[in-house]
Amino acid sequence: MPKQGSVLSRFRSLDAYAKTLDDFRVKTTSGAAVTIISGLLIAILVLSELSAYRTSVMKPELVIDKGRKDKLPITFNVTFPKIPCYLLSVDIMDDSGQHLSGFTHDVYKVRLDLAGNQIESEKAHKLGDNSEGAELALKQDDPDHCGSCYGAPSPHENGCCNTCEDVREAYIKAGWGFNDPSMYEQCVKEGWRDKIETQSNEGCNIHGHLQVNKVRGNFHIAPGQSFQQSHMHVHDMAGYIAGAPDGHKFDFTHHINKLQFGDVIPDKMKRRTAKGTPVELTNPLDNTSRVTNDFGMMYQYFLKIVSTEFRYLNGMKLYTNQYSVTEHERGIITRQGQEGLPGVFFNLDISPMLVIYQETRPSFTSFLTGVCAIVGGIFTVAGIVDSVVYRAERQLRKKMELGKAL
Protein backbone atom coordinates (compact mmCIF):
# COMPACT_ATOMS: atom_id res chain seq x y z
CA MET A 1 0.00 0.00 0.00
CA PRO A 2 1.28 3.49 -0.79
CA LYS A 3 2.20 5.56 2.16
CA GLN A 4 -0.17 8.27 3.37
CA GLY A 5 2.50 10.96 2.85
CA SER A 6 2.97 10.12 -0.80
CA VAL A 7 -0.81 10.23 -1.37
CA LEU A 8 -1.04 13.69 0.19
CA SER A 9 1.91 14.94 -1.75
CA ARG A 10 0.33 13.77 -4.98
CA PHE A 11 -2.93 15.47 -3.97
CA ARG A 12 -1.06 18.73 -3.17
CA SER A 13 0.38 18.70 -6.67
CA LEU A 14 -3.14 19.41 -7.97
CA ASP A 15 -3.18 22.79 -6.20
CA ALA A 16 -3.56 25.48 -8.87
CA TYR A 17 -3.18 28.22 -6.27
CA ALA A 18 0.35 27.63 -5.00
CA LYS A 19 1.27 29.88 -2.07
CA THR A 20 4.46 31.77 -1.56
CA LEU A 21 6.18 31.97 1.78
CA ASP A 22 5.31 34.95 3.93
CA ASP A 23 9.01 35.84 4.08
CA PHE A 24 8.99 36.48 0.36
CA ARG A 25 5.88 38.67 0.34
CA VAL A 26 6.31 42.41 0.01
CA LYS A 27 3.53 44.70 1.21
CA THR A 28 3.46 48.24 -0.18
CA THR A 29 1.43 51.39 0.35
CA SER A 30 0.32 51.39 -3.27
CA GLY A 31 -0.83 47.76 -2.90
CA ALA A 32 -2.92 48.72 0.13
CA ALA A 33 -4.52 51.57 -1.80
CA VAL A 34 -5.33 49.27 -4.74
CA THR A 35 -6.79 46.69 -2.31
CA ILE A 36 -9.07 49.26 -0.61
CA ILE A 37 -10.25 50.71 -3.91
CA SER A 38 -10.93 47.27 -5.42
CA GLY A 39 -12.79 46.24 -2.25
CA LEU A 40 -15.05 49.30 -2.47
CA LEU A 41 -15.72 48.62 -6.15
CA ILE A 42 -16.59 45.00 -5.41
CA ALA A 43 -19.00 46.07 -2.65
CA ILE A 44 -20.73 48.66 -4.86
CA LEU A 45 -21.08 46.33 -7.86
CA VAL A 46 -22.26 43.39 -5.75
CA LEU A 47 -24.96 45.59 -4.17
CA SER A 48 -25.96 46.74 -7.65
CA GLU A 49 -26.16 43.12 -8.80
CA LEU A 50 -28.26 42.26 -5.74
CA SER A 51 -30.63 45.15 -6.47
CA ALA A 52 -30.98 43.99 -10.09
CA TYR A 53 -31.65 40.44 -8.88
CA ARG A 54 -34.43 41.58 -6.54
CA THR A 55 -36.05 43.96 -9.09
CA SER A 56 -38.49 42.51 -11.61
CA VAL A 57 -38.89 44.02 -15.08
CA MET A 58 -41.51 43.87 -17.81
CA LYS A 59 -40.55 42.36 -21.15
CA PRO A 60 -42.97 43.20 -24.01
CA GLU A 61 -44.05 40.65 -26.57
CA LEU A 62 -46.26 41.14 -29.63
CA VAL A 63 -48.64 38.31 -30.59
CA ILE A 64 -51.87 37.83 -32.52
CA ASP A 65 -54.94 38.75 -30.48
CA LYS A 66 -57.17 35.68 -30.23
CA GLY A 67 -59.74 37.28 -27.94
CA ARG A 68 -61.64 39.21 -30.62
CA LYS A 69 -64.97 37.80 -29.41
CA ASP A 70 -64.60 39.48 -26.04
CA LYS A 71 -66.38 42.72 -25.16
CA LEU A 72 -64.47 45.99 -25.09
CA PRO A 73 -65.11 47.94 -21.84
CA ILE A 74 -65.20 51.73 -22.13
CA THR A 75 -65.15 54.27 -19.31
CA PHE A 76 -65.90 57.83 -20.39
CA ASN A 77 -66.55 61.21 -18.80
CA VAL A 78 -67.30 64.21 -21.03
CA THR A 79 -68.53 67.69 -20.04
CA PHE A 80 -70.59 69.92 -22.35
CA PRO A 81 -70.86 73.41 -20.80
CA LYS A 82 -73.10 74.91 -23.53
CA ILE A 83 -75.75 72.28 -24.14
CA PRO A 84 -78.36 70.93 -21.68
CA CYS A 85 -78.75 67.28 -20.76
CA TYR A 86 -82.20 66.81 -22.26
CA LEU A 87 -80.78 67.37 -25.77
CA LEU A 88 -77.95 64.83 -25.55
CA SER A 89 -78.09 61.13 -26.34
CA VAL A 90 -75.48 58.36 -26.53
CA ASP A 91 -75.57 55.97 -29.50
CA ILE A 92 -73.47 52.88 -30.27
CA MET A 93 -72.90 51.48 -33.78
CA ASP A 94 -70.48 48.89 -35.13
CA ASP A 95 -69.73 46.80 -38.20
CA SER A 96 -71.33 43.68 -36.70
CA GLY A 97 -74.73 45.32 -37.14
CA GLN A 98 -75.28 46.39 -33.55
CA HIS A 99 -77.13 49.69 -33.32
CA LEU A 100 -78.11 50.99 -29.89
CA SER A 101 -79.88 54.34 -29.91
CA GLY A 102 -80.29 56.47 -26.80
CA PHE A 103 -78.17 54.10 -24.73
CA THR A 104 -78.84 54.61 -21.01
CA HIS A 105 -77.53 51.51 -19.20
CA ASP A 106 -74.73 52.53 -16.79
CA VAL A 107 -74.77 56.03 -18.30
CA TYR A 108 -75.38 59.08 -16.09
CA LYS A 109 -76.15 62.71 -16.84
CA VAL A 110 -75.24 65.50 -14.45
CA ARG A 111 -76.91 68.88 -14.95
CA LEU A 112 -74.48 71.79 -14.57
CA ASP A 113 -75.08 75.50 -14.07
CA LEU A 114 -73.24 78.20 -16.02
CA ALA A 115 -70.36 78.07 -13.52
CA GLY A 116 -69.97 74.33 -14.02
CA ASN A 117 -71.41 73.39 -10.62
CA GLN A 118 -73.53 70.28 -10.27
CA ILE A 119 -77.29 70.79 -10.14
CA GLU A 120 -78.58 67.24 -10.32
CA SER A 121 -77.10 63.79 -10.94
CA GLU A 122 -79.15 60.84 -12.08
CA LYS A 123 -79.40 57.86 -14.36
CA ALA A 124 -79.51 59.03 -17.97
CA HIS A 125 -83.14 59.33 -18.92
CA LYS A 126 -83.98 60.14 -22.48
CA LEU A 127 -84.86 63.68 -21.52
CA GLY A 128 -82.13 64.29 -19.00
CA ASP A 129 -84.50 64.99 -16.09
CA ASN A 130 -86.31 62.98 -13.46
CA SER A 131 -89.58 63.00 -15.43
CA GLU A 132 -91.74 63.51 -12.35
CA GLY A 133 -94.40 64.94 -14.63
CA ALA A 134 -94.46 61.67 -16.56
CA GLU A 135 -95.21 59.79 -13.35
CA LEU A 136 -98.12 62.17 -12.69
CA ALA A 137 -99.42 61.68 -16.20
CA LEU A 138 -99.44 57.92 -15.71
CA LYS A 139 -101.74 58.30 -12.71
CA GLN A 140 -104.93 58.73 -14.72
CA ASP A 141 -108.35 58.99 -13.10
CA ASP A 142 -109.66 56.57 -15.70
CA PRO A 143 -107.63 53.32 -15.67
CA ASP A 144 -108.71 52.68 -19.26
CA HIS A 145 -107.50 56.08 -20.47
CA CYS A 146 -105.59 55.92 -23.74
CA GLY A 147 -103.74 59.05 -24.79
CA SER A 148 -103.54 60.09 -28.40
CA CYS A 149 -100.37 59.69 -30.45
CA TYR A 150 -101.54 62.40 -32.85
CA GLY A 151 -101.35 60.23 -35.93
CA ALA A 152 -97.97 58.65 -35.18
CA PRO A 153 -97.53 54.91 -34.48
CA SER A 154 -97.54 54.19 -30.76
CA PRO A 155 -94.33 52.82 -29.21
CA HIS A 156 -96.48 50.44 -27.11
CA GLU A 157 -98.60 47.44 -28.01
CA ASN A 158 -101.76 49.04 -26.57
CA GLY A 159 -101.54 51.83 -29.15
CA CYS A 160 -101.57 54.57 -26.49
CA CYS A 161 -99.34 57.55 -25.75
CA ASN A 162 -100.04 58.43 -22.14
CA THR A 163 -96.90 60.49 -21.54
CA CYS A 164 -95.04 63.20 -23.39
CA GLU A 165 -92.13 60.81 -23.82
CA ASP A 166 -94.50 58.34 -25.52
CA VAL A 167 -95.58 61.05 -27.96
CA ARG A 168 -91.98 61.99 -28.60
CA GLU A 169 -90.99 58.36 -29.27
CA ALA A 170 -93.99 57.93 -31.55
CA TYR A 171 -92.99 61.00 -33.59
CA ILE A 172 -89.40 59.80 -33.80
CA LYS A 173 -90.58 56.35 -34.90
CA ALA A 174 -92.62 57.99 -37.63
CA GLY A 175 -89.67 60.17 -38.66
CA TRP A 176 -91.47 63.39 -37.72
CA GLY A 177 -89.98 66.36 -35.94
CA PHE A 178 -90.98 66.93 -32.33
CA ASN A 179 -90.91 70.72 -32.14
CA ASP A 180 -93.24 72.50 -29.73
CA PRO A 181 -94.23 70.45 -26.61
CA SER A 182 -97.07 72.89 -25.90
CA MET A 183 -98.97 71.36 -28.85
CA TYR A 184 -99.51 68.08 -27.03
CA GLU A 185 -101.79 67.55 -24.04
CA GLN A 186 -99.44 65.10 -22.30
CA CYS A 187 -96.51 67.51 -22.53
CA VAL A 188 -98.56 70.42 -21.22
CA LYS A 189 -99.68 68.34 -18.24
CA GLU A 190 -96.10 67.33 -17.44
CA GLY A 191 -94.79 70.87 -17.79
CA TRP A 192 -92.27 70.05 -20.52
CA ARG A 193 -92.16 73.59 -21.79
CA ASP A 194 -91.15 74.88 -18.38
CA LYS A 195 -88.50 72.18 -18.08
CA ILE A 196 -86.95 73.14 -21.41
CA GLU A 197 -86.95 76.83 -20.55
CA THR A 198 -85.43 76.10 -17.12
CA GLN A 199 -82.66 73.87 -18.46
CA SER A 200 -81.82 75.79 -21.64
CA ASN A 201 -79.02 77.76 -19.95
CA GLU A 202 -77.41 74.71 -18.37
CA GLY A 203 -74.51 72.45 -19.26
CA CYS A 204 -74.23 68.70 -18.92
CA ASN A 205 -71.72 66.10 -17.83
CA ILE A 206 -72.18 62.62 -19.27
CA HIS A 207 -70.24 59.73 -17.78
CA GLY A 208 -70.56 56.00 -17.43
CA HIS A 209 -69.47 52.61 -18.71
CA LEU A 210 -70.11 50.88 -22.03
CA GLN A 211 -69.57 47.31 -23.22
CA VAL A 212 -69.19 47.18 -27.00
CA ASN A 213 -68.26 44.46 -29.47
CA LYS A 214 -64.55 44.20 -30.19
CA VAL A 215 -64.98 45.23 -33.82
CA ARG A 216 -64.70 48.47 -35.73
CA GLY A 217 -67.45 50.93 -34.92
CA ASN A 218 -68.19 54.12 -33.03
CA PHE A 219 -70.07 55.59 -30.14
CA HIS A 220 -71.13 59.22 -30.28
CA ILE A 221 -72.82 61.91 -28.24
CA ALA A 222 -75.15 63.95 -30.42
CA PRO A 223 -78.25 66.16 -30.06
CA GLY A 224 -81.76 64.74 -30.06
CA GLN A 225 -83.17 61.26 -29.95
CA SER A 226 -81.94 58.99 -32.76
CA PHE A 227 -83.96 56.63 -34.94
CA GLN A 228 -83.65 54.58 -38.12
CA GLN A 229 -85.26 55.92 -41.26
CA SER A 230 -84.79 54.22 -44.63
CA HIS A 231 -81.77 52.36 -43.21
CA MET A 232 -80.22 55.69 -42.19
CA HIS A 233 -79.20 56.83 -38.72
CA VAL A 234 -81.18 60.05 -38.09
CA HIS A 235 -81.42 62.38 -35.09
CA ASP A 236 -84.36 64.59 -34.18
CA MET A 237 -82.47 67.92 -34.17
CA ALA A 238 -85.46 70.25 -34.06
CA GLY A 239 -84.87 71.30 -30.45
CA TYR A 240 -81.13 71.73 -31.01
CA ILE A 241 -81.41 73.83 -34.17
CA ALA A 242 -84.19 76.00 -32.71
CA GLY A 243 -81.90 76.90 -29.81
CA ALA A 244 -82.90 78.14 -26.38
CA PRO A 245 -86.14 80.06 -25.75
CA ASP A 246 -84.09 83.22 -25.14
CA GLY A 247 -82.60 82.93 -28.64
CA HIS A 248 -79.05 81.75 -27.92
CA LYS A 249 -77.65 78.78 -29.85
CA PHE A 250 -76.21 75.61 -28.38
CA ASP A 251 -72.83 74.24 -29.43
CA PHE A 252 -70.54 71.26 -28.79
CA THR A 253 -67.78 72.90 -26.80
CA HIS A 254 -66.60 70.00 -24.68
CA HIS A 255 -63.99 68.77 -22.24
CA ILE A 256 -63.03 65.07 -22.19
CA ASN A 257 -62.23 64.35 -18.56
CA LYS A 258 -61.53 60.65 -19.13
CA LEU A 259 -61.62 58.04 -21.86
CA GLN A 260 -60.29 54.64 -20.78
CA PHE A 261 -60.57 51.25 -22.47
CA GLY A 262 -60.26 48.47 -19.91
CA ASP A 263 -58.83 48.43 -16.40
CA VAL A 264 -56.46 50.98 -14.91
CA ILE A 265 -53.10 49.64 -13.72
CA PRO A 266 -52.84 50.15 -9.92
CA ASP A 267 -49.71 51.98 -8.77
CA LYS A 268 -48.59 48.98 -6.70
CA MET A 269 -48.58 46.82 -9.85
CA LYS A 270 -46.57 49.16 -12.05
CA ARG A 271 -43.17 47.88 -13.19
CA ARG A 272 -40.32 49.02 -15.42
CA THR A 273 -38.97 47.66 -18.67
CA ALA A 274 -35.48 46.25 -19.06
CA LYS A 275 -34.35 49.72 -20.20
CA GLY A 276 -35.57 51.24 -16.94
CA THR A 277 -38.53 53.15 -18.36
CA PRO A 278 -41.79 52.76 -16.38
CA VAL A 279 -44.67 50.89 -18.02
CA GLU A 280 -47.52 53.40 -17.92
CA LEU A 281 -50.52 53.32 -20.22
CA THR A 282 -51.59 56.93 -20.68
CA ASN A 283 -54.90 57.96 -22.23
CA PRO A 284 -54.14 60.60 -24.90
CA LEU A 285 -57.62 62.15 -24.72
CA ASP A 286 -57.78 62.65 -20.95
CA ASN A 287 -58.21 66.34 -20.04
CA THR A 288 -58.71 67.37 -23.67
CA SER A 289 -60.81 70.47 -24.44
CA ARG A 290 -62.28 71.85 -27.65
CA VAL A 291 -64.03 75.23 -27.81
CA THR A 292 -66.35 76.49 -30.54
CA ASN A 293 -69.12 79.02 -31.14
CA ASP A 294 -70.45 77.16 -34.19
CA PHE A 295 -73.58 75.15 -33.40
CA GLY A 296 -72.90 72.92 -36.42
CA MET A 297 -69.45 71.64 -35.43
CA MET A 298 -68.68 67.94 -35.72
CA TYR A 299 -65.75 66.53 -33.73
CA GLN A 300 -64.32 63.16 -34.70
CA TYR A 301 -61.71 61.17 -32.79
CA PHE A 302 -60.24 58.21 -34.65
CA LEU A 303 -58.86 55.75 -32.10
CA LYS A 304 -56.51 52.83 -32.79
CA ILE A 305 -56.97 50.42 -29.89
CA VAL A 306 -54.38 47.76 -29.02
CA SER A 307 -55.22 45.04 -26.50
CA THR A 308 -52.67 44.78 -23.68
CA GLU A 309 -52.10 42.04 -21.12
CA PHE A 310 -49.91 42.15 -18.01
CA ARG A 311 -48.65 38.88 -16.57
CA TYR A 312 -47.11 38.99 -13.10
CA LEU A 313 -44.83 36.57 -11.28
CA ASN A 314 -47.55 35.75 -8.73
CA GLY A 315 -49.77 34.43 -11.52
CA MET A 316 -52.07 37.46 -11.66
CA LYS A 317 -53.14 38.73 -15.09
CA LEU A 318 -54.48 42.19 -15.93
CA TYR A 319 -56.25 42.91 -19.21
CA THR A 320 -56.54 46.44 -20.53
CA ASN A 321 -56.07 48.47 -23.72
CA GLN A 322 -53.94 51.31 -24.96
CA TYR A 323 -54.77 53.59 -27.86
CA SER A 324 -53.54 56.30 -30.16
CA VAL A 325 -55.76 59.03 -31.55
CA THR A 326 -56.15 61.20 -34.65
CA GLU A 327 -58.50 64.18 -34.43
CA HIS A 328 -60.64 65.86 -37.07
CA GLU A 329 -63.24 68.60 -36.82
CA ARG A 330 -65.41 70.28 -39.40
CA GLY A 331 -68.57 72.32 -39.78
CA ILE A 332 -71.56 70.41 -41.12
CA ILE A 333 -73.20 73.44 -42.76
CA THR A 334 -71.84 73.94 -46.29
CA ARG A 335 -73.04 75.63 -49.49
CA GLN A 336 -74.62 72.35 -50.48
CA GLY A 337 -76.57 72.19 -47.23
CA GLN A 338 -76.16 70.12 -44.11
CA GLU A 339 -73.57 67.35 -44.38
CA GLY A 340 -73.29 65.23 -41.28
CA LEU A 341 -74.36 65.52 -37.69
CA PRO A 342 -73.03 67.87 -34.99
CA GLY A 343 -71.64 66.12 -31.97
CA VAL A 344 -68.64 64.24 -30.61
CA PHE A 345 -67.80 60.96 -32.34
CA PHE A 346 -65.35 58.32 -31.12
CA ASN A 347 -64.50 56.02 -34.02
CA LEU A 348 -62.96 52.75 -32.85
CA ASP A 349 -60.52 50.65 -34.89
CA ILE A 350 -59.36 47.45 -33.17
CA SER A 351 -55.80 46.25 -33.81
CA PRO A 352 -55.39 42.48 -34.50
CA MET A 353 -52.27 42.44 -32.30
CA LEU A 354 -51.92 41.86 -28.57
CA VAL A 355 -49.09 43.33 -26.48
CA ILE A 356 -48.07 41.08 -23.57
CA TYR A 357 -45.94 42.48 -20.76
CA GLN A 358 -44.36 39.52 -18.95
CA GLU A 359 -42.86 40.21 -15.54
CA THR A 360 -39.43 38.55 -15.22
CA ARG A 361 -36.67 38.42 -12.63
CA PRO A 362 -33.05 37.17 -12.92
CA SER A 363 -32.44 33.64 -11.57
CA PHE A 364 -30.30 32.98 -8.50
CA THR A 365 -27.67 31.21 -10.61
CA SER A 366 -27.34 34.27 -12.84
CA PHE A 367 -26.93 36.38 -9.68
CA LEU A 368 -24.10 34.09 -8.45
CA THR A 369 -22.49 34.17 -11.89
CA GLY A 370 -22.59 37.96 -11.87
CA VAL A 371 -21.08 38.16 -8.38
CA CYS A 372 -18.27 35.77 -9.31
CA ALA A 373 -17.57 37.75 -12.48
CA ILE A 374 -17.41 40.99 -10.49
CA VAL A 375 -15.10 39.62 -7.77
CA GLY A 376 -12.82 37.72 -10.16
CA GLY A 377 -12.67 40.52 -12.72
CA ILE A 378 -11.84 43.25 -10.22
CA PHE A 379 -9.23 41.11 -8.42
CA THR A 380 -7.59 40.32 -11.75
CA VAL A 381 -7.53 43.92 -12.90
CA ALA A 382 -6.41 45.07 -9.44
CA GLY A 383 -3.56 42.56 -9.55
CA ILE A 384 -2.42 43.86 -12.92
CA VAL A 385 -2.61 47.47 -11.72
CA ASP A 386 -0.71 46.63 -8.52
CA SER A 387 1.97 44.80 -10.48
CA VAL A 388 2.46 47.73 -12.86
CA VAL A 389 2.61 50.23 -9.99
CA TYR A 390 5.03 48.04 -8.01
CA ARG A 391 7.39 47.60 -10.99
CA ALA A 392 7.27 51.33 -11.72
CA GLU A 393 8.13 52.10 -8.09
CA ARG A 394 11.11 49.68 -8.17
CA GLN A 395 12.45 51.16 -11.38
CA LEU A 396 12.12 54.68 -10.00
CA ARG A 397 13.82 53.68 -6.75
CA LYS A 398 16.77 52.13 -8.60
CA LYS A 399 17.24 55.25 -10.71
CA MET A 400 17.17 57.41 -7.62
CA GLU A 401 19.81 55.22 -5.96
CA LEU A 402 22.04 55.57 -9.04
CA GLY A 403 21.36 59.31 -9.16
CA LYS A 404 19.78 59.11 -12.61
CA ALA A 405 16.37 60.31 -11.55
CA LEU A 406 15.47 63.81 -12.68
Q: Are 265 and 311 in contact (CB under 8 A)?
A: no
Q: How far apart are CA 294 and CA 240, in angstroms?
A: 12
Q: How far apart are CA 382 and CA 38, in angstroms?
A: 6
Q: Bridge-partner residues for 108, per DSSP?
A: 123, 207
Domain spans, the chain: 35-55+361-406, 61-360
Nearest to 298 by CA among 336, 335, 251: 251
pLDDT per residue of the chain (406 residues) written in tens, 0 to 9: 555 567 777 777 776 666 666 666 677 777 788 888 888 998 999 898 888 888 788 888 889 888 766 788 999 999 999 998 888 889 998 888 788 877 878 889 888 888 888 886 555 544 444 444 434 444 445 566 788 888 788 877 788 888 877 887 777 777 676 666 778 887 888 777 777 777 888 899 999 999 888 889 999 999 877 766 666 677 777 778 777 777 788 899 999 999 999 887 766 556 555 565 666 778 899 999 999 998 889 999 999 999 988 888 888 888 889 999 999 998 887 656 667 789 999 999 999 899 998 888 888 898 899 889 988 888 888 888 878 887 887 788 787 777 665 5
